[in-house]
Every structure is written in structure tokens, then in C-alpha cells.
């Protein structure tokens, strides 16, 4: 019975992405772990595939509108892809199953990954809850695609976008950090990528969002290849879960034209914050 709720949650993940333009995929790992009973390690692997495929669908609309900087995606994406692949292929398998003890608490690899992911959820929730003040702050945490895509529909094709100016040192460092984080927790990291693209590549907001989605898709899907060598992959499960989530995106995108997204995003941010705190408490005190 609880598996049914897991697949319903897959639809909810897609709906949230379609309705508020982000945040839904941050729930993928908790859904896989707590509702579908998968281990944290395999859940972070499956999340890479689900997040990558979802972002690929989201990036297509931006690409057709000329809102993806391919050069920026390559410059930022290469170190990020290398980092996420190396993390999944070599670093995660090398982490010992039992790390250390704190009093009566045994910190295992699974506990460490869930605590790291919960910390990411808390940071992501804050970016959804806080009021938008500047273009850099107005960033959705993960898969920032659908609600911005509504604005993309009205973009003037003749609108000029400034050519990217690269701070190669900053882009390289950010790409490595985001790639490693993605490899560890299986999240897209859009709330880190977009500010980097705005600050280090001087992209405008819409171009940064579209480019971010392509980077997330590439590094997540290619990073997932590193897991194929280490784990037995249930492709049928991945196909079903991803298909339900993608269907939810299209439903949510349609509903988003009829529902005001700002209040939904704030409410969802509080939900993600509560979930993050719940995971921290559960893993520390009840694992």
C-alpha cells in the first residue's frame, strides 16, 4: 500500500515542478527512501536519472526560444560532469558503510547521505520562502523550469541577450563543487548553478535558467552512468517513476496558467523545510 503513495508522490513531484517551477525534485530522494523503501545510496543514483530526465524536458522549451547559452553550458558543464561522474563512480562506493560513532549514534554511509541531503533541502526551502529581492536571489532551487517557461512564451525572439563573459576560475570552482554535491546527494543543484551563471558568466536571468537546466540534465544523466558500473539498476521502475513525474509536469504546467504560483511556492518551501528538519531528526535520533 505504501508503494502506491510513492507513485502518487512521483505525480506530486511533477505537479510541483509544473505549478511553481522548482523544488519538486528535491523530494525525490526522500520519496524513494521513506515511501518506496530503497537505500539512500541507490536512491541518490535513481534521483540523478529522474532529475536529469526532467531537466532535459524543461530545457527544450528554453532552447527553442534561444534561451540556452551552449558555450556557457560547455564551460560550466565539463568540470561539473567530471566531478559528478567521479563522485558516483569512485567516491561514493569508496565511502565505508560505517563511518563513526557519536555516543550511541552510529553514523553510516546512508545516514550521512540523508543528513547531507536534508541540509540541502533546508537551504533550498529558504530560497523558496524568502521574498525575491534581486535577480540573483530570485532562483528556484532545482529544475527552475516550468513557471519561467510561461514567461518564455512571451519572449520577443528579437530580444538581445548579452554575450557571456567568463570568469573561468569561478566557473571551474563552482562546477567542481556543484558536481561533487550532485554526485553525493542526487539533486540538481540549480539554486547554486543559476547565481554562478549570473555572477561568473554575466547571463541574464532567463538565459541563466535555460542554461542551468541543460547543465543539470547533462551532469545528472552522465553522472548516473557512473552508477551503472556499481549497482544493479531497475530500469522498469525508473521508467515508470520518471514517466509519472513528467506527466505531472505537463499537468502542473497547464494548471499554472490558472493558479497564482507565488503563494504555492512559499507554502511548498515551508513543506520542504519541515521535511528537511524531519529527516535530520529521524536520522539522528531514530535511525
Check if the beta carbon of residue 46 is closer than 8 Å to that of residue 186: yes
pLDDT in tens, 81-112: 899 889 888 998 999 989 888 877 788 888 89
pLDDT in tens, 29-70: 889 998 999 998 899 899 889 888 888 887 887 788 888 889
Check if the beta carbon of residue 117 is closer than 8 Å to that of residue 279: yes
Nearest to 187 by CA among 43, 15, 33: 43
Nearest to 60 by CA among 250, 205, 192, 230: 250
pLDDT in tens, 263-278: 677 777 888 888 889 9
Tell me the residue range of the domain where 280 lies.
2-285
Triad 189, 190, 195: Cα angle to 5°: 115
pLDDT in tens, 164-196: 666 777 778 878 888 888 888 777 677 678 777
Domain count, the chain: 1
State yes or no: pLDDT of 142 exceeds 60: no
Check if the beta carbon of residue 222 is closer than 8 Å to that of residue 182: no
Q: What is the dihedral of CA 144, 149, 155, 158, to 10 degrees?
A: 70
Amino acid at each position: 500500500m505504501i508503494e502506491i503513495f510513492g507513485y502518487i508522490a512521483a505525480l506530486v513531484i511533477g505537479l510541483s515542478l509544473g505549478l511553481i517551477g522548482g523544488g519538486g525534485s528535491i523530494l525525490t530522494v526522500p520519496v524513494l527512501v521513506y515511501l518506496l523503501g530503497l537505500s539512500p545510496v541507490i536512491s541518490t543514483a535513481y534521483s540523478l536519472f529522474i532529475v536529469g530526465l526532467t531537466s532535459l524536458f524543461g530545457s527544450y522549451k528554453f532552447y527553442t526560444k534561444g534561451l540556452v547559452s551552449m558555450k556557457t553550458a560547455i564551460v560550466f558543464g565539463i568540470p561539473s560532469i567530471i566531478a559528478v561522474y567521479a563522485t558516483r563512480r569512485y567516491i561514493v562506493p569508496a565511502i565505508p558503510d560505517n563511518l563513526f560513532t557519536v555516543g550511541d549514534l552510529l553514523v553510516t554511509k546512508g545516514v550521512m547521505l540523508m543528513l547531507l541531503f536534508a541540509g540541502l533541502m533546508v537551504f533550498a526551502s529558504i530560497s523558496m520562502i524568502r521574498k525575491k529581492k534581486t535577480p540573483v536571489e530570485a532562483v528556484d532551487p532545482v529544475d527552475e523550469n516550468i513557471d519561467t517557461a510561461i514567461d518564455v512564451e512571451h519572449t520577443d525572439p528579437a530580444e538581445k541577450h548579452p554575450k557571456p563573459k567568463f570568469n573561468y576560475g569561478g566557473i571551474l570552482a563552482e562546477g567542481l563543487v556543484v558536481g561533487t554535491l550532485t554526485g553525493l546527494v542526487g539533486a540538481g543543484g540549480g539554486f547554486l548553478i543559476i547565481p554562478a551563471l549570473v555572477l561568473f558568466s554575466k547571463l541574464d536571468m532567463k538565459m541563466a535558467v535555460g542554461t542551468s537546466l541543460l547543465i543539470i540534465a547533462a551532469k545528472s544523466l552522465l553522472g548516473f552512468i557512473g552508477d551503472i558500473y556499481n549497482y544493479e539498476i531497475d530500469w522498469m521502475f525508473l521508467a515508470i517513476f520518471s514517466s509519472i513525474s513528467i506527466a505531472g509536469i505537463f499537468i502542473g504546467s497547464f494548471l499554472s496558467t490558472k493558479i497564482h504560483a507565488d503563494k504555492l511556492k512559499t507554502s511548498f518551501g515551508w513543506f520542504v523545510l519541515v521535511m528537511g528538519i524531519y529527516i535530520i531528526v529521524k536520522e539522528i535520533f531514530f535511525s
